[in-house]
Amino acid sequence: MSESGGEERLAELREENEQLRQRLSEYQTIFESTPIMFWYKDTKNRLLRLNRAAAELEGVPPSKLIGRRSEDIYPPEQAAAYYADDLEVIRSGRPRLGIVEPHTKPGSDEVRWLSVGKVPTRSPEGEVNGVIAFALDITEERRLQGELNQRQKMEQIGRLAGGVAHDFNNVLCAIMGCAEVALRQRDRDDVEAQLHEILKGCQRAAGLTRQLLAYARQEPLRLEPCDAREAVRGALALATPSLHASVQVELRDEAEATVVLGDLSALQSAVLNLLLNARDAMPKGGEVRVTLSNADHAGCEELPAGLYLQIEVCDTGQGIGEAHLPHVFDPFFTTKG
């Protein structure tokens, strides 16, 4: 190689070396400037390197951490959890992502919550020779999520309380309506009939209490054979004294089989609420039609094939607002205060 050729090659090497130095500097800047925390450990659980964000989290100068093991830095339980995750990555050779865990600063009681991922590093021969852990501090996000969950819980409790109050109000209206009718009756038989309706209303109130307790404990309702026709007629009897004179109610009983497996009180409560909601939706009067019919269902994911009873309550009111449709099957949901 000529002298000029050697000088050209030397210049090329210097340029390549400068490019490598610049690239290394860029990588170092990115590594130290990113808000993502990085820790690099070998397979013997020794910390080899960490970036500025990780050092700020630890609250200790990097020089006091480099070369130390997890058990020399963190509380025993925390150190054991970190090392267990590291060992899984080392043995499997696969990353572990989506770890959410508490982190306590060395020598402090302050706890931060981290979202952590861990990936293996490999030697030129392909052997796992270390673990890189990277993390984001999600403490504030968890706090905000906790506040949101609490607000949603309180909203649910508020809806539940409003719904229960509304249901009890319906029961009380029915009982008071029957009592007022009884007071106006002079015939003892008529009074006795109204008193029976009052007793049924009280029994339905007790059933409503059972429903509330079942919901609060997340227990299933008591399912037993019951006559749905009886539930519908009972609901009509309870609702009638509370309906406006301008509300016309029609019962179409087209069903042959009306015994179903269910909770009689819950079924009667559902029909009664539909009737009273229909009343409230028609302040100027209208028509309510209650239909009982049988349907031979072919079967689907939700229902096995067989003979079913259908109960339809239709009214000429304005209908349910679109915003409320997703909640119509929520326990005790109501739009009334």
Kindly state the DSSP code that residue 148 receives in the 8-state scheme.
H
User: Quick one: pLDDT band at residue 207, thresholds 50, 70, 90?
Assistant: low
Q: How far apart are CA 243 and CA 275, in angstroms?
A: 9
- Tokens for 11? 């210049």
Query: What is the pLDDT, as a whole number, of residue 221?
Result: 64
HEC string of 320-336 equals CCHHHHHHCCCCCCCCC
The count of C-alpha atoms lying within 13 angstroms of the C-alpha of 279, restricted to the half-sphere facing its C-beta, is 19
From 122, 99, 96, 115, select the one nearest 42 (Cα to Cα): 122
End-to-end CA distance of the chain: give it in Å, rounded. Answer: 95
> How far is 24 from 27, CA to CA, in rounded Å?
5
* Cβ-proximal residues to 329 (8 Å cutoff; 6+ apart), any chain: none
Q: Which pLDDT band, with edges at 50, 70 and 90, does 135 fall under?
A: very high
Q: Tell me which of 182 and 51 has the higher pLDDT.
A: 51
Q: What is the structure's pLDDT at 22?
A: 84
Across the chain, what does the average pLDDT equal?
Answer: 81
**CA–CA gap between residue 14 and residue 28 (Å, rounded):** 21
% of the chain beyond a pLDDT of 90:
27
Span of 50-64, 210-224, 243-257, 313-327 with lowest mean pLDDT: 210-224
The dihedral of CA 211, 217, 220, 225: what is its sign?
negative
Nearest to 54 by CA among 89, 24, 85, 82: 82
Element (H, E) at 309: strand 306-315
How far is 260 from 210, CA to CA, in rounded Å?
19
Beta-sheet strand order (sheet of 247-253): 247-253, 286-297, 306-315
Q: Is residue 129 scored above 60 in pLDDT?
A: yes
Helices (H), the chain: 3-33, 52-58, 76-92, 139-184, 188-216, 228-239, 264-281
**Residue 317: φ, ψ to 5°:** -80, -170
In the block, which residue shows the tokens 């500097």? 25
Rounded to whole angstroms, the Cα distance separating 37 from 51 reads 6
| pLDDT(305) > 90 | no
Work out the number of other CB atoms within 10 angstroms of the CB of residue 85: 17
- Residue 89 has a pLDDT of 94
What gap in Å lies between CA 65 and CA 2, rounded to an integer? 52
Q: What is the pLDDT of residue 237?
A: 83
What is the pLDDT, as a whole number, of residue 312?
Answer: 94
The whole-number pLDDT of residue 42 equals 94
Token pair 């080392």 in the structure block, residue: 90
The domains of the chain, with CATH numbers, are 34-137 (3.30.450.20), 148-327 (3.30.565.10)
CA gap 109, 126 in Å, rounded? 40
More confident residue, 298 or 319: 319
When pLDDT is cut at 50, 70 and 90, the band that residue 169 belongs to is low
Provide the b/e sequence for 207-233 (b: ≥16 CB within 10 Å).
bbeebbebeeeeeeeeeeebebbebbb
pLDDT band at 272 (very low <50, low <70, confident <90, very high): confident
> Quick check: helix, strand or coil at residue 103?
strand
Q: What is the pLDDT of residues 273-304, one digit of tens each?
A: 889 888 888 888 899 999 999 988 776 656 78
SS3 191: helix
Instruction: Find the range with the poorest average confidence among 32-36, 86-90, 187-191, 239-243.
Output: 187-191
Average pLDDT on 9-29 reads 81
Amino acid (1-letter code) at residue 277: N
Asked if pLDDT for residue 53 goes beyond 70, the answer is yes
